[in-house]
Amino acid sequence: MNKTSVLFVCLGNICRSPTAHAVFQSMVQTRALAEQVTVDSAGTGDWHLGHAPDRRTSAVAAERGYPMDDLRARLVEPGDFEQFDYIVAMDEENLANLRAMCPADYHGNLGLFLDYSVNPEYADTNAVPDPYYGGDNGFTLVLDLVEDASAGLLDHIAAQL
């Protein structure tokens, strides 16, 4: 049985990537793929190491039934490129930081999360916008974008299992 591992990456690992982690994990469980697909998240910045997700993030996620109580921020580390088949960046800046760390012999898929969007409404959007310094609407938009791209990414992975 093939197994696939997915790492979601943003800047602080307290807003966007934990949202993706929780939503994608929930979809994996709903589709009974937990034995085959493993999920984690990390950040490229070290301000919030060990912290739980931002309260605004966990509040909107809880409204849609995605628990994230167990998540804690960590940094992307070199070993992640040995462990993860998919390393998925929330925006171009995260992707550039990951490319700078990525070993030349990495054989996985390093790319942008929104490349897996399915809703045509998001066809021209290539970044999950950083909500940290903005209002509550930003956190809802993160969740909308993450739900859509998670469905697309899981379809893509499930087709190859």
10 contributes a contact to ligand 4NP by CB under 6 A? yes
12 contributes a contact to ligand 4NP by CB under 6 A? yes
Judged by CB under 6 A, the residue of 11, 27, 87, 112 near ligand 4NP is 11
Is the C-alpha dihedral spanning 37, 39, 44, 46 positive or negative? negative
8 Å CB contact between 154 and 31: yes
Q: What is the number of the residue whose Cβ is closest to ligand 4NP?
A: 12
143 contributes a contact to ligand 4NP by CB under 6 A? no
The CA distance from 152 to 159, in Å, is: 11
114 contributes a contact to ligand 4NP by CB under 6 A? no
The CA distance from 44 to 25, in Å, is: 21
Question: Which parts of this chain interact with ligand 4NP (CB under 6 A)?
Answer: 10-16, 47, 130, 132
